[in-house]
């Protein structure tokens, strides 16, 4: 029996169905599964760092939804284009750039510091995921699918939805604005809070604390992203999408200001209606929940009103250099295969690194006993207390008997590479690097420590750090290219060496001291008297 054919009208081309089965989709789901799987395998280091960000910060945990949303919205656009497959070899370009960025991140941390309090990572996760996912779309769907999917592709740029620069530029000023607003409102209704720095209002048995951090940043940012994605789903123009995003964020902040003012009203009422005093936290949650529920409903009614129709997909001409070549037109599976091959090559190396890391962790052995590691005296300094921070850092506090000269010395006892300066940078703290201290220690060997100063908003600390595998090697220097900072990471064998111990010496100084060199003097006194080799030899793994 002859097969019946029925035209299937997609956007810009026709497909033919044979006995109810579209030939253009034959084997397509399997191909997409292989492509997406290979992409995720290749991006293991990127996803690993992203997961650490999501799990370590509730505010940034929102970013875990964006890769999923990107894939879903790309599939929606692709379906509207009839699942067309005009793959092009040009997709190799963004893929290779993404691979180069991943490899560069394994060797350097590159940061742009236009101001001391603003830190911008120049090799973040978002652009790497954007380039690699763009390559997958170009090499399987083609240029037109990529253009139509540009907004979903850009969602992966927000895997870290709250970069550290956002703190300094927007969040910190709004924190102070929200606390000041609540305090002024309290004065307006007759309450007189004391404590300009803490904005605290209290009575002997009933009180409240409005800290600068109570600015509703999590809800405001979430509403902003919801507005951006929902307005795209409804087919709004680009200016309207931006308006919805910024409008959602602004309304989130404004409603949080209103929440704080209502909490102040609750405090005033609670001074006379005493039975509500034990329920302060519940009432605060109830006020905030009702306000944000009301705002979300209003926002949803605006975005999903009946007159906001989805626009039809329109034809757009492709640049000639993105059109599928005759070779690709013969068998486009080869293009997708090239993408999978590159991703699998990088992915296999990632899996090998993970297996190797697991084996290295097994040989590191048990943690060190705290009682036998830290020396009782270092020059004129004597040990007065010691403690464990978590399960990996052994700390001791040393004093020379003079107030303000105390120092703390910490040892990273788990083995492997651990640079304290990178920890402060990853947390978004303000870090200012000093010089490299090179001198002869008590044993006569040359020792180098890298000095830096960090300010977390509460303490001003001067520090000196070193990664020791004997403590006679030279520390990795920090290089500057204008306002760009490059921190070179050691070789992989250095990362996994169980005999490597991180040493960190800190001194907390008066915040008014600023970056004065005097803050490093206690550190230099300890380093000059420290026998590094003897110290590290007592750490048994």
Over residues 7-29, the mean pLDDT reads 40
Q: In what order do the strands lie in the sheet with 478-481?
A: 118-121, 108-115, 484-488, 478-481
pLDDT score of 104 more than 80: yes
Q: Identify any residues that bridge with 462 across adjacent strands, giving them in sequence order.
A: 453, 507
Give tens-digit pLDDT for 507-530: 887 655 555 666 778 888 887 787
pTM above 0.95, yes or no: no
Q: DSSP 3-state assignment of 164?
A: helix
What pLDDT, on the 0 to 100 scale, is given for residue 199? 39
Over residues 222-245, the mean pLDDT reads 86
**In which band, very low, low, confident or very high, does the pLDDT at 150 lie, cut at 50, 70 and 90?**
very high
What pLDDT, on the 0 to 100 scale, is given for residue 317? 43
* Lowest-pLDDT range of 181-190, 293-302, 487-496: 487-496
Contact between 194 and 207 under an 8 Å Cβ cutoff? The reply is: no
Over residues 108-136, the mean pLDDT reads 79
pLDDT score of 71 more than 80: yes
More confident residue, 54 or 175: 54
* Lowest-pLDDT range of 33-47, 80-94, 96-110, 388-402: 33-47
Give tens-digit pLDDT for 431-478: 666 665 655 655 566 667 777 777 655 567 777 777 665 444 434 445
pLDDT score of 366 more than 60: no
The pLDDT mean for the chain works out to: 68
More confident residue, 341 or 86: 86
pLDDT score of 492 more than 60: no
What pLDDT, on the 0 to 100 scale, is given for residue 102? 82
Q: Identify any residues that bridge with 449 across adjacent strands, giving them in sequence order.
A: 437
Over residues 8-36, the mean pLDDT reads 46
- CA 259/CA 285 separation, integer angstroms: 9
Q: Give me the half-sphere count of Cα atoms (radius 13 Å) on the Cβ side of residue 2.
A: 3
What pLDDT, on the 0 to 100 scale, is given for residue 152? 93
What pLDDT, on the 0 to 100 scale, is given for residue 365? 43
Percent of the chain predicted with pLDDT > 90: 4
pLDDT score of 108 more than 50: yes
Give tens-digit pLDDT for 157-174: 998 888 777 766 776 677
CA angle, corner 28, sides to 22 and 32, nearest 5?
155
What pLDDT, on the 0 to 100 scale, is given for residue 244? 85
More confident residue, 362 or 271: 271
Q: Give me the half-sphere count of Cα atoms (radius 13 Å) on the Cβ side of residue 337.
A: 5
Task: Pick the closest to residue 442 from 492, 503, 499, 379 (CA basis).
Answer: 379
Q: DSSP 3-state assignment of 207?
A: strand
Give tens-digit pLDDT for 259-307: 777 777 777 777 777 777 777 667 777 777 777 777 777 766 766 666 5
């Amino acid at each position: 029996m002859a097969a019946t054919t029925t035209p299937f009208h997609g956007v810009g081309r026709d497909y033919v169905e044979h006995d109810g089965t579209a030939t253009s989709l034959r084997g397509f789901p399997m191909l997409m599964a292989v492509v997406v799987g290979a992409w995720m395998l290749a991006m293991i280091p990127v996803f690993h760092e992203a997961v650490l960000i999501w799990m370590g910060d509730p505010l940034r945990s929102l970013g875990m939804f964006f890769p999923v949303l990107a894939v879903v919205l790309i599939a929606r656009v692709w379906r509207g284009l009839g699942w067309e497959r005009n793959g092009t070899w040009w997709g190799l370009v963004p893929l290779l750039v993404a691979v180069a960025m991943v490899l560069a991140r394994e060797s350097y941390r590159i940061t742009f510091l236009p101001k001391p309090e603003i830190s911008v990572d120049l090799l973040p996760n978002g652009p790497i995921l954007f380039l690699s996912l763009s390559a997958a779309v170009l090499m399987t769907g083609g240029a037109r699918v990529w253009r139509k999917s540009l907004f979903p592709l850009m969602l992966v740029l927000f895997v870290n939805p709250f970069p550290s620069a956002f703190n300094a530029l927007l969040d910190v000023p709004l924190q102070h604005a929200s606390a000041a607003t609540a305090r002024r409102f309290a004065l307006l209704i007759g309450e007189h809070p004391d404590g300009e720095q803490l904005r605290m209002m209290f009575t002997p048995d009933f009180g409240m604390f409005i800290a600068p951090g109570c600015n509703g940043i999590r809800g405001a940012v979430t509403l902003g992203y919801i507005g951006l994605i929902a307005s795209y789903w409804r087919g709004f123009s680009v200016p309207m999408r931006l308006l919805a995003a910024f409008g959602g964020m602004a309304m989130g902040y404004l409603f949080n200001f209103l929440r704080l003012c209502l909490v102040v009203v609750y405090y005033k009422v609670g001074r006379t209606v005493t039975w509500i005093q034990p329920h302060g936290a519940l009432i605060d949650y109830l006020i905030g929940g009702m306000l944000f529920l009301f705002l979300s409903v209003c926002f949803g009614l605006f975005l999903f009103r009946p007159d906001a129709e989805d626009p039809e997909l329109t034809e757009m001409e492709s640049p000639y250099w993105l059109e599928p070549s005759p070779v690709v037109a013969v068998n486009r599976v080869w293009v997708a295969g090239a993408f999978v091959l590159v991703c699998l090559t990088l992915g296999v190396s990632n899996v090998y690194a993970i297996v190797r890391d697991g084996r290295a962790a097994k040989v590191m052995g048990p943690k060190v006993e705290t009682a036998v590691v830290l020396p009782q005296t270092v020059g004129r300094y004597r040990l007065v207390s010691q403690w464990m921070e978590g399960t990996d850092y052994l700390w001791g506090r040393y004093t020379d008997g003079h107030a303000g000269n105390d120092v703390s010395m910490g040892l990273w006892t788990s083995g492997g590479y651990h640079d304290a300066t990178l920890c402060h940078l990853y947390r978004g703290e303000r870090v200012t690097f000093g010089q490299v201290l090179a001198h002869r220690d008590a044993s006569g060997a040359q020792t180098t420590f890298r000095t830096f100063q960090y300010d977390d908003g509460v303490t001003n600390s001067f520090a000196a750090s070193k990664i020791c595998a004997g403590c006679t090697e030279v520390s990795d220097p920090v290089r500057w290219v204008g306002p760009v900072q490059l921190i070179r990471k050691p070789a992989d064998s250095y990362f996994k060496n169980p005999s490597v111990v991180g040493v960190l010496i800190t001194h907390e100084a008066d915040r008014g001291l600023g970056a004065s060199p005097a803050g490093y003097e206690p550190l230099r006194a300890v380093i000059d008297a420290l026998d590094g080799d003897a110290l590290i030899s007592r750490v048994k793994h």
